[in-house]
Structure 1
Amino acid sequence: MKIDLGFIFQWGFRPFFILSGVSAIGLLAYWLLVLKGIAFTPETISLSDWHAHEMIFGFGAAALAGFLLTAIPEWTGATHLQGRGLALYVGLWLFGRLSVALIDLLPLFLVGLLNVAFPLILAWHTLPHLMKESGKRHHIFIPMICLFIGAQIAVYLGWSGVGEDFELSRRALLGGIYALIFGIIITSTRISMVVIRLALDEQNDQDSLFRPYPYRRNLASVTFLFFAAADIIIPETSIMGWFALAAGAALMDRLSDFHVGRVLLKPYVQFLYVANFWIALGCLGMGVNAFWELGAATDLRHFFGVGAIGTAILMVFTIAGLRHSGFDLIVPKRMIAALLCMITATGLRVLPAIPDNPLPIEASYDGAACFMILGFILFLSKFIPIFCRDQQKVLPEKH
């Protein structure tokens, strides 16, 4: 397949969705080698810190950039980043990944500067448009972006020795996860307004009424933020537990928006539903664990890290990738298989948190990573031809 670089760099979603998928596969495959003692991670930072940082601020940041660089111009009518500017921005992300790999050899300040520059430039390019009148409906993304940047800065401060007693870097990495989850919550609110109505129209359903209630959606967002703050500052306490249960209940209630007619028969609605379900289940699990100690909180948090983030990223890649590439919103069979892979990966990864789990922990970790890798391989095998060349020339079919 001949790759048209000019076509790739016309829109931010094309290179960054590809890079995000490739990084997920590469990072998880390398993580498996690390667990087997075949490969090694930098000595400057802990094994868990390296893994979490690259999944959040490497894989996750690429997906976030691809989404915002595409969605905000559509929402606000702003000029989108393209061409040489987009290529240089992609290069900055790549240099960031290289710098973390070489963190033992480079000054920590330089590694931090290269990596923090990526979300800062994203903010510089997107926030002014969100602050304008045309972007006022999407102001909620401003604190989300700022939280993500603040979490990454705090990680490097923690690695440099600041707040060592407070475990600043660990808490900051958790903050990065929750910033992404908050972004998923507010993004899915907007996407659901479109896809549920689209599903009703496609089913010619004139009887079912889709009536979202903003106050219920806002309650879910606010209670989640309270839970996230409590889990970062006072983890595994009864206060955090009550906030977690409240957030889980509010997020479960929020899922009732999808119980309209037969919209859940549509795969693109299923993606959205499953991603939100994992967030709700993660909050409920953390709440129950705070009182009854089911298992390690780290395992339960993978409802967020593997389930919600992994599924939501595949959802955005599929919906945005098809719509912005000129295709009808007909989810390819490979992406349905990818969703099933993510469901399996999530179940395996959180299994160690269940008491008397018969499956060995190592098997749970290995299986979760393998299924997640397979999910993103399926995504790339379908969408690389779409993102790398004009689909009208190479993919005339709609599936």
Structure 2
Amino acid sequence: MKETPDKSFWDAPHRPLFLLAAVWAALVPLVWLFLDLSNDPVGWHRQEMILGFAGAAMGGYLLTALRHWLKQAGQGAKGPGRHAVQGLVLSWLFGRIAAGQPGDGPMVLLGIAAYPLGLALCLLSPVLSARLWRRMPISLAPVGLLAVGVGLRLGGDGLAAALAMALIVAVVGGRIVPAFLASRAGQATPPQRGALPAMARLADALLALALVSHLAGLSDGVTGGLLLATAAGQVARVGRWPLAAGLAGAQGDLLMLVLAWVWLPVGLTLTAVGLILPDALAGLPLPTGLHTLTMGLMGGMIMAVMARAYMRRAPGVLLAGTGLVLAFALITISTLLRLILYAKPVALSVPATFWCLGWAVFALCALRSMAGPAPHPVLSAARG
């Protein structure tokens, strides 16, 4: 039976949450363009890119995926209703107000925690009811995101936050990107759907170990060495992906995903060099390598996934329009400029401007799509 598309803005969780993510991504870097907006632009910027931007995007993605999980389990395409989604949006807005307050008092931390904990509850309740035990770890991902955000709030450890977000992208993106490629290549059942290949598991384990190494206070050389090893592993795992067949015809939706993924090994390598040989690469500072992971990998992958909800549908194919391609290009250019202009702090407003423009264009594309019903499936094309 053909599913009835969602007609209400609130019936499709990705609509309000993806829109919030795009708008917030466009607004947060303004602290670099107008420095008097915040007393602590560095801390607020880091925190809000994790809890505000990535948090809203994660919510839209996971609540959309939840319907698919429940349908596979024979539970129907059910999930949190519109009132639950409205409550999540309100808690997200409350969290942004709380995050802008000074200090680390209980009310501030409670406000920051409201949305991630509410999202985890909306995911865990139906997952437990349907006994989808293997979905429990990803249902707890919002709690991990909260831990990263609170860690930034209390300790300001940018390296730990960047590595944690890279790990989330590696674990989630490392599953969905090859699955989409395999589907486009005509493989009805993507290879290794249930279990990752050994190289992928090893690469992710090394990245987790590098994060633990840093948190445990081991030397930068140890952490950097682990990052170099995981960068090599992340490159090697791509060898099992059906890139040639999946990218045949230069489909923009898959090309965005693959290009965003490229920033993972690049960012890990630059971060490793910054830790092991801080004077190498013409003195490339560590924060520049970390921005490769946050702007290029996290920002690029989030946009590439969210954009799929707004692409035109053809049998078995998603068609990226000019606006979405432009938005992704601007994000890519902003990352490249952040690398090129690292030695000129005065010029860092340039990549920030490109980033803001990219997300503003994306937000306009999202708003334009609201005129019609939400597509089903939301993040992939129906088989032809």
The TM-score by the shorter chain falls in which range?
0.7 to 0.9
Which residue, out of 65, 70, 74, partners 2:68? Answer: 74
Q: Distance in 2 between matches of 1:226 and 1:180?
A: 14
Counterparts in 2 of 1:51 and 1:87: CA distance versus 1, 3 Å = same
Of residues 268, 273, 278, the one that matches 2:258 is 273
Q: Corresponding residue for 1:288? A: 273
| Gaps in structure 2 of 5+ consecutive residues | 1-5, 376-380
Q: 1:307 aligns with which of 277, 290, 296?
A: 296
Change (3 A) 1:142 1:221: farther
Aligned twin of 1:162: none
Indicate whether 1:112 and 2:109 are aligned: yes
- 1:7·1:389 contact (CA, 8 Å) conserved in 2? no
Q: How many residues align?
A: 357
Matching residue of 1:135: 132
Alpha-carbon shift at residue 142 of structure 1 (Å): 4.8
Query: Aligned pair in 2 of structure 1 residues 232, 338: CA closer, same or farther (>3 Å)?
Result: farther
1:50 corresponds to which of 44, 59, 62: 44
The 8 Å contact of residues 248 and 284 in structure 1, kept in 2 or not, is answered as yes
Q: In structure 2, what is the equivalent of residue 165 of structure 1?
A: none
Q: Hey, what does 2:287 align to over in structure 1?
A: 298
Displacement of 1:266 in angstroms is 2.1
Mapped to 2, the partners of 1:234 and 1:225 lie a distance apart of: 14
**Which stretch shifts more, 81-90 or 116-125?**
81-90
For residue 239 of structure 1, what is the amino acid of its counterpart?
Answer: V
Distance 1:132 1:214, change over 3 A: farther
What CA distance in whole angstroms lies between the structure 1 residues aligned with 2:340 and 2:222? 25
Is 2:180 the partner of 1:215? no
AA aligned to 2:156 is R
Say which SS state the counterpart of residue 65 (structure 1) adopts: helix
Residue aligned with 1:9, SS: coil
Q: How does 1:52-201 map to 2 (within 5 A)?
A: 52-77=46-71, 79-101=78-100, 103-104=101-102, 108-130=105-127, 135-142=132-139, 144-156=141-153, 158=154, 169-171=155-157, 174-201=159-186
Q: 1:338 aligns with which of 327, 331, 345?
A: 327
Q: Go from structure 1 to structure 2 and tell me whether the alpha carbon gap of 1:27 and 1:327 turns closer, same or farther (over 3 Å shift).
A: farther
Q: 1:178 to 1:323 in 2, by over 3 A?
A: farther
Residue in structure 1 matched with residue 19 of structure 2 by the alignment: 18
The aligned amino acid for 1:66 is G
**Cα distance in 2 between the residues matched to 1:20 and 1:135:** 28
Q: Cα distance, 1:75 vs. partner?
A: 1.7
In the TM superposition, residue 327 of structure 1 has moved relative to its aligned partner by 10
Partners of 2:199 and 2:319 in 1: CA distance: 30
Percent identity among equivalent residues?
21
Q: Is the 8 A contact 1:289 1:297 kept in 2?
A: yes
TM-score by length of 2: 0.82
Distance 1:233 1:117, change over 3 A: same
Q: Distance in 2 between matches of 1:225 and 1:334?
A: 36
Task: Report the CA distance between 1:322 and its aligned residue.
Answer: 4.2
| 1:252 correspondence with 2:252 | no
Which of 206, 222, 241 is 2:224 aligned to?
Answer: 241
- C-alpha change, 1:130 and 1:297, in structure 2 (3 Å) is farther
Is the contact made by 1:141 and 1:183 (CA closer than 8 Å) also made in structure 2? no
Moved more, 173-182 or 375-384: 173-182
1:282-306 alpha-carbon deviations (Å, 9 max, x no partner): 1111222223213221111011110
Contact 1:255 1:277 (8 Å CA) reproduced:
no
